[in-house]
Amino acid sequence: MAYVRRLFAVDRRVLVLALARAADALGNSFLIVVLPLYIADVIGGSGAGVTVDIVGFDVTLAQSLAVGIVLSMFGFLNSFGQPFTGRWSDRVGKRRAFVLFGLVVLTVTNVAYAFAGSYVSLFVIRALQGFGVAFTVPATIALVNELATDDTRGNNMGVFNTFRLLGFGLGPIVAGGLVHGGPYALGVVTLSGYNAAFAIAAGGALVSLVLVTLLVTDPERIDDDAGDDLSIAVLDHERDDKLLDPVFTLGLASLFMAIGIALISAIEADVNARLDQTAFLFGIEFAAFVLAQVLLQAPIGSASDSYGRKPFILYGLVLLAPATAVQGFVTEPWMMIVARFVQGVAGAAVFAPALALAGDYARAGQSGTQLSVLTMAFGLGVAIGPLASGALATVAYAAPFVLGGLLALLGAGLVYTQVSDKVKPGEREGADATAAD
């Protein structure tokens, strides 16, 4: 019972942010499934591809390429925008305002999908969503960090990510059935399956907006040490025995982890053909990773408060290497399910402790800047992974997974040599006993 109390002994505002993120993630994960179908059935229509008018010239894109561009554009704009919005929120010191602005953008753009009649309009809407999320993510993570103490930061990050993953994992399970089950009669209004999905996505963002508006406040303003420089520290100028900045190193590890995790998403057809399985089994394999994350994020985050962050990050990356590489050689669906579950265990060991350790390193008022390095890196990895696997799979089926395994080992080597466990049991001089009011 004591462990359960510790596990969920988080600031009320952190729990609200976690619930809000779960609602938002549920809606956004709908779009990952729905947008490819929408492009194929509505925007593409004929099956011959998607025709785009570019400065007066009609260019036809293969549907797979058209889908990839839309999905990747969101990831790239989201990721590259985060260091700027994170630093901006540090300078202003008003995290909540950034979260609310991003959620307003998400709500409006989710509704706008229902009126998108062309590929260009769809592209613009998805790009605007990436812009909105770039405001929400760094400010939210900075809030979670600043509402924690050194003794609870890992626990807070773990609980927050658990709820986020619950929302993200539930969306794809429901989305496909919702689309194909339409149209839906709601009184005098009839919604197509697609419009129903867009409405739920907008509803998830709206629920998040209401929760944050009513129940979340900024912590007491802390004078920041962010400076005006928008650059990300790459080299370490404070420790003589280290070359790379520790937060930048953690960002690299997060990038490599995210690439390995996202490799499978672009080659679903190849995986199904090799394992002689249906799309349903592929969904189970995808869900196995999410299940491991949901089960272990909070316990591992909490344990890192007591035993240090670096061991979990390091061993997680070491475990990630074979769990990723073996996916290129398994021959049965059950083997892939096991590999994906183990990959999820490894990812859980890395993500929450890495965010917590970056938070330990962050100076007062600099959380948005520091933590945006990791959130940007993870977003880039999710965008790069499918592009890399799509290209490498043409060389050899196992090539993407071998690359993912090698990147995980490289990340482990960097963390081992370049990162110190800043906060350890018994060495928290001056650590606050309670979270900021």
Least confident of 70-84, 144-158, 277-291, 421-435: 421-435
Q: What is the per-residue pLDDT for 335?
A: 94
The distance from CA 320 to its chain's CA centroid, rounded to whole angstroms, is: 17
Does the structure show a pLDDT above 60 at 4? Answer: no
The answer to whether 72 and 383 have CB atoms below 8 angstroms apart is yes
CB-based contacts of 198: which residues, under 8 Å, 6+ apart?
Answer: 34, 110, 111, 113, 114
Q: What is the per-residue pLDDT for 426?
A: 40
The answer to whether 422 and 357 have CB atoms below 8 angstroms apart is yes
Residue 124 tokens read as 């613009």
Residue 428 confidence class, pLDDT cut points 50, 70, 90: very low
Using the structure block, give the residue that is written with the tokens 């002689």: 276
Distance CA 418, CA 412 (A): 10
The answer to whether 367 and 148 have CB atoms below 8 angstroms apart is no
Nearest to 119 by CA among 192, 61, 76: 61
CB-based contacts of 13: which residues, under 8 Å, 6+ apart?
Answer: 143, 147, 215, 216, 217
Distance CA 45, CA 424 (A): 58
Q: What is the per-residue pLDDT for 432?
A: 43
Distance CA 199, CA 196 (A): 5
pTM, entire model:
0.72
pLDDT in tens, 337-374: 999 999 999 998 998 888 888 877 766 556 666 777 78
Residue 15 confidence class, pLDDT cut points 50, 70, 90: confident
Q: What percentage of the chain exceeds 70 in pLDDT?
A: 78
Q: What is the per-residue pLDDT for 427?
A: 43
β-strand pairing of 184-186 with 189-191: antiparallel
CB-based contacts of 350: which residues, under 8 Å, 6+ apart?
Answer: 253, 254, 257, 312, 313, 316, 317, 320
Q: What is the per-residue pLDDT for 121?
A: 84
Q: What is the per-residue pLDDT for 145?
A: 77
Distance CA 254, CA 379 (A): 9
* Most confident of the ranges 23-37, 377-391, 399-413: 399-413
Distance CA 358, CA 124 (A): 33
Q: What is the mean pLDDT of residues 171-185?
A: 73
- Which residue type, as a one-letter code, is found at position 362? A
Nearest to 408 by CA among 340, 322, 335: 322
* Most confident of the ranges 54-58, 200-204, 280-284, 336-340: 336-340
Least confident of 28-32, 117-121, 229-233: 229-233
Q: What is the mean pLDDT of residues 230-240?
A: 63
Residue 18 tokens read as 């976690």
Residue 45 confidence class, pLDDT cut points 50, 70, 90: low
Distance CA 105, CA 132 (A): 5
Distance CA 385, CA 262 (A): 5
Q: What is the mean pLDDT of residues 87-106?
A: 86
Residue 267 confidence class, pLDDT cut points 50, 70, 90: confident
Residue 186 confidence class, pLDDT cut points 50, 70, 90: confident
Does the structure show a pLDDT above 80 at 40? Answer: no
DSSP state letters, 180-223: HH--EEETTEEE-HHHHHHHHHHHHHHHHHHHHHHH--PPPP--
Least confident of 47-56, 274-283, 387-396: 47-56
Q: What is the mean pLDDT of the chain?
A: 78
Q: Exposed e or buried b for every residue in 225-259, given b needs 16+ CB within 10 A?
A: ebeeeeebbeebeeeeebebbbbbbbbbbbbbbbb
Does the structure show a pLDDT above 90 at 316? Answer: yes
Count Cβ atoms below 10 Å from residue 342 Cβ, excluding itself: 20
Does the structure show a pLDDT above 50 at 425? Answer: no
Q: What is the per-residue pLDDT for 56?
A: 63
Prior bond of 183 cis (ω within 30°): yes
Least confident of 60-64, 320-324, 371-375: 60-64
Residue 279 confidence class, pLDDT cut points 50, 70, 90: low
Sign of the C-alpha dihedral, residues 76, 78, 79, 83? positive
Question: Within 276-398, where are the H helices?
Answer: 279-307, 310-325, 333-361, 367-392
Q: What percentage of the chain exceeds 90 in pLDDT?
A: 15
Distance CA 300, CA 154 (A): 8
Q: Which residue has the higher pLDDT, 42 or 328?
A: 328
Distance CA 129, CA 123 (A): 10
